[in-house]
Chain A
Amino acid sequence: MGNLILSRPAEIKRPYYVSDLGVHLYSAEELCYYIYHNAVLIDESFGDERLLDFIHQMDQPRLEERILRVKEQGGLYDLLYAILQELRYYNSSELFNFRKQLESLSRASLAERTKAKGDSLFERGQYYGAIRAYNQVLDQDGRELADGEFVAAIWKNKAACYARTDHYAEALADLKNAYILTRDAGLAEKMYALNRLMGVDDVPEPVKNQVSPETLEQFRSNWEKRWQLASYQGKALEAGTLEEEAEPARSQAFRQLLQNWKDEYRRQQLS
């Protein structure tokens, strides 16, 4: 059985803005939740004046003092742990898990942490932010860049980000880079799909010789099935279900759905 946690009343005039997620935080609970679930997204800029101002508005003088002390003596992860410990939003076993998560992050290299940040943003649908994180990894000079698997995974993830934001040519280019590193034949069908989205019924150059006419036919058949299925899934399904509503509720629901999609798009753009 769970618990109810009494919410801390606080009048926050200047919320803390999290640019990675494009959201404002208005309470101690939201700050704790953000830290607990997004430690990988947080960098050294987190503990700046804005955070102190935010904590000050919460009327937590003890935490303010502790933050100042930790900033002088400790690192970012000590700061995150201190905040969670002081605000007591998470219980001791959750704090223990968080501590392990921080230890694992501190053991990871910069490239691994940045990739994890990209992966986290991808999971949240923050595709542009994820692309930026993956580009940062590729621009770094770490030993991980000698690991073909690691780099290929980044190219593949980047391609997925581009595909989700309808940038098919960029997605195809990144998949080609991943293919060059891994020679993974499984990427051929993805490349074919991207080509189809751009109106080309063929596999692109680096894998062309690897794909037999029968396999290509199989790709074609799979694509047709997926294309048909797509009209019953995702956004098409969201819109389709509204058709059953009676007027004027239907028009209002469509307007609301369109607004939601716009908000979603804006969030992606902002990230």
Chain B
Amino acid sequence: MEPLILGIDLCDTYSQISVFSPESGTAEPILLGEGENSSLISTVLCKMKGSDTWLIGYEAYRRALMGEGTMVDKLVKLLYKNGNATIEGVQYSAEELMGHYIEQLLKLPREKYGVEEVRCLAITLRQLSPDLLDRLTRACDRCGLSRSKLRFLSHTESFAFFVASRPKEIWPNMVVGFDLGEEGLDYYEMRIVRGRRPQVLEARRESLEEAFDLDIFDTAVGARMADTILSSCADRLLTKKLISSVFLTGEGFNHVANWAPEFLRRLCNKRKVFEGQHLFADGAAILAYDSTRAETIFPYVCICEGRLSSSISLYAVREGKNEQLVLAAAGSNWYEARSTAEFILDDVANLELMITPFATQRVETIGISLSELPARPNKATRIQLILSFSSENHVTARVVDKGFGELYPASGKVIRKDFLIS
């Protein structure tokens, strides 16, 4: 079999892992038992006493309850806080623990398909932050995963890729999604804006204040209340919108037909409604597959959480011709959008970065003064421009003086400018 193409939905309570099959063109979850819910793997880790054996999921709970090992939970939160946990007197960093968790998670498809090699792994999280992604990258390093095979994406992107990979009949108009879990209630929207070349895929997430604890389902009264809350959400969010399909996901929507008649009645109003547990993991696996291809299967500019909604460019002379050079394109994943380029200054005192929002195409200019660079003759200063992102809106531009070879040695001066893009 070919090397594995995997998607992991990494959440604080449950995680899931899906495998993409290029032959069938679909993603399939790894199920630990029978039934849809068996794709949910608790994000907990248990170290067996006196050995270097690590367990995850239900087995980790079971062994810890039997007193055979020590369990750590809330691994994503721990990684976000860069915390530690002490097990049997040994302190483990959150990165180490996440490394063990991912390693055990990867064992599942490896054992199922008898394939060790991973071609690409995409990890999707509810929200992306630069520190979290850096730590997660290092955790994956511990599993021996090459960084070039690693991708990260937000749940919003996963949702968008999952929907866009479905037959077109499902998304002629807007598609929405509800995700109900221990971590909250999220609402997603995705639509393809036609009439533009390339076509634009717009997606967004809204964290709903109406989120409730899943213990509410323990009583019939609580379940009715949940139905009422969700119905009012549907009234507020879906009115006056042309919606083709609705996706429900998250452990909260398990057996939704039994407890939310009013909510479903509102959703099923001339729309297709789907319920499933592994939407985000499948979406991640689809992106993983897409990134292994020379040509994308999604010919869209994707504008959503985790993606740049503006392009950053500047004018530069290349091969004697002045042309617009795009440093970061709208629609690229901000975590991977870091770009570096070197330029020679030809009578330039200010660097002018052009910010072009994809939606409006109205150009805004951000100036960076180069007056702090050492004075040198014209065309004898090389600068390195580094653009990095700490979110889809926060940009840091750094200009590093590289001198001009041995003719004018570099001073190492760095000019930094932070700015926001829409």
B-binding residues in A (CB < 8 A): 1-7, 9, 21, 23-27, 29-30, 33-34, 37, 88-91
Contacts and interface: CB of A to CB of B under 8 A. Distances in A.
Interface in B380-422: 380, 382, 404-407
6 contacts: A4-B315, A4-B343, A4-B344, A5-B344, A23-B406, A27-B405
A90 B320 CA distance: 8
A7 B380 CA distance: 12
Interface stretch (B73-81, B293-301, B345-353): B345-353
A29 B325 CA distance: 19
Given A29-B379, A33-B379, A6 B325 contact: yes
Contact of A5 (B343, B406, B407): B343
A25 B325 contact: no
Given A23-B405, A33-B407, A6 B317 contact: yes
B318 A6 contact: yes
B363 interface: no
Q: Which 3 A-B pairs have the closest CB atoms?
A: A2-B347, A88-B320, A7-B342
Contacts of B406: 23-26
Interface of B: 314-320, 322, 325, 341-349, 351, 377-380, 382, 404-407
A88 B407 contact: no
Contacts of A23: 405-407
Contact of A6 (B316, B378, B404): B316
B404 A4 contact: no
Given A7-B341, A88-B320, 20 more contacts: A1-B348, A2-B346, A3-B322, A4-B314, A4-B316, A5-B343, A6-B317, A6-B325, A6-B341, A7-B343, A7-B344, A9-B342, A21-B407, A23-B407, A25-B406, A25-B407, A26-B406, A29-B344, A30-B404, A91-B320
Contacts of B322: 3
Contacts, number: 76
B317 A4 contact: yes
B317 A5 contact: yes
Contacts of A5: 316-317, 343-346, 379
Contacts of A89: 344, 379
A2 B318 contact: no
A89 B325 CA distance: 18
B319 to A, nearest CB: 6
A91 B320 CA distance: 7
A257 B1 CA distance: 65
A90 B343 CA distance: 14
B319 A3 contact: no
B390 to A, nearest CB: 25
A201 B316 CA distance: 61
Contacts of B318: 6
Nearest to A91: B320
B348 A4 contact: yes
B404 A3 contact: no
Nearest to B402: A7
Of residues A1, A2, A25, A27, which shows the largest number of chain B Cβ atoms within 10 Å of its Cβ?
Answer: A2
A90 B347 CA distance: 12
Contact of A33 (B343, B351, B380): B380
Nearest to A5: B344
A7 B355 CA distance: 22
A43 B4 CA distance: 62
B405 A3 contact: no
Of residues B348, B380, B382, B407, which shows the largest number of chain A Cβ atoms within 10 Å of its Cβ?
Answer: B407
Contacts of B343: 4-7
A46 B348 CA distance: 31
Contacts of B314: 4
Given A33-B379, A88-B319, A88-B320, A4 B407 contact: no
Contacts of B348: 1-4
A184 B74 CA distance: 92
Contact of A30 (B317, B320, B405): B405
Contacts of A88: 319-320
Nearest to A17: B406
Contacts of B349: 2
A7 B382 contact: yes
Contacts of B377: 37
A30 B379 CA distance: 9
Given A25-B405, A34-B407, A3 B316 contact: yes
Contacts of B345: 2, 4-5
Given A7-B343, A7-B344, A30 B407 contact: yes
Contacts of A25: 405-407
Nearest to B347: A2
B380 to A, nearest CB: 6
Nearest to A36: B379
A235 B344 CA distance: 31
A243 to B, nearest CB: 23
Contact of A3 (B346, B380, B382): B346
A165 B342 CA distance: 39
A88 B320 CA distance: 5
A28 to B, nearest CB: 10
Contact of B405 (A9, A24, A37, A91): A24
Contacts of B405: 23-27, 30
Contacts of A1: 347-348
Nearest to B341: A6
Contacts of B315: 3-4
A140 B284 CA distance: 78
A260 to B, nearest CB: 11
Of residues A3, A29, A34, A88, which shows the largest number of chain B Cβ atoms within 10 Å of its Cβ?
Answer: A3
